[in-house]
Amino acid sequence: MKIALSGAGGQLGSVVRTALLARSVPLRSAGGSRPLAPLVEGEDLMHGDLRERGVVDRLLEGVDVLIHFAGTSVERPLPEIIDNNLRALVEVYEGARRHGVRRVVFASSNHAIGMYPVTEHLSLDCELRPDGFYGLSKVWGESLARMYWDKHGIETICVRIGSCIERPTEPRHLSTWFGHRDLLHFIDRCIEATDVGFMVVWGVSANKRSWWDNRGAERLGYQPTQDAEEYAAEVLARPNPLDALGQRYQGGSFVGIDYSRADTDANASTARSSKPV
């Protein structure tokens, strides 16, 4: 079985690429505009703009499963979001259709539901409430994936990624943390599971304070074992970096970007987030 990984030079792509190569998984890794430095001798590498058909064809030729982590992962102006997260995604799915790729693992995001208050506990079939253009692109991407399953039989697992970092560093992460060990277990299940069709899964660890009910992931066989509670005392001993608005909504700092309602205090931050968490 041949696996392709887009966004292989990014934060999460680097973790997955390193782990799969360490296990000698047949992997083709794609960077963006810059070539990737090989991690092992003879590594199957490529790079280029996924809005271009030829680049997509090189990525997907002979591939069974695509792990699609490429794209803009922070809030940015709409034209950039459209280019990287909409236009490129259509090219990727059209390439999957041409090359008979049977399954795509699509990196969706918690920012597709970021406008829910932290007091609400969400199921996988909750109404989508994006907290910006980035989150909106993930709503659109999930719908695109649904259409390509319904019309073309391309399976997709949409993972609404929480805060996928090595360890929690702030109070929000006690609910949203997606530990690296659980990420790699999740990827294994996405590759190995049979007959998944189309499904959505929360990309989150087994956190005691989680906002998300992930029982639907049982169908995939995803059974997370990490819990942010292990770090709670350390995290809660530090100041919360989020302003009042960010602490109120599940999207955290993304919510305050271009937020114009009057129901927040005067010191609420509207600075652009620099991390996809």
Q: Residues with catalytic annotation?
A: 134
Query: How far lies 161's CA from each of 1, 16, 105, 227, in Å?
Result: 25, 14, 12, 15
* Identity at 274, one-letter amino acid code: S
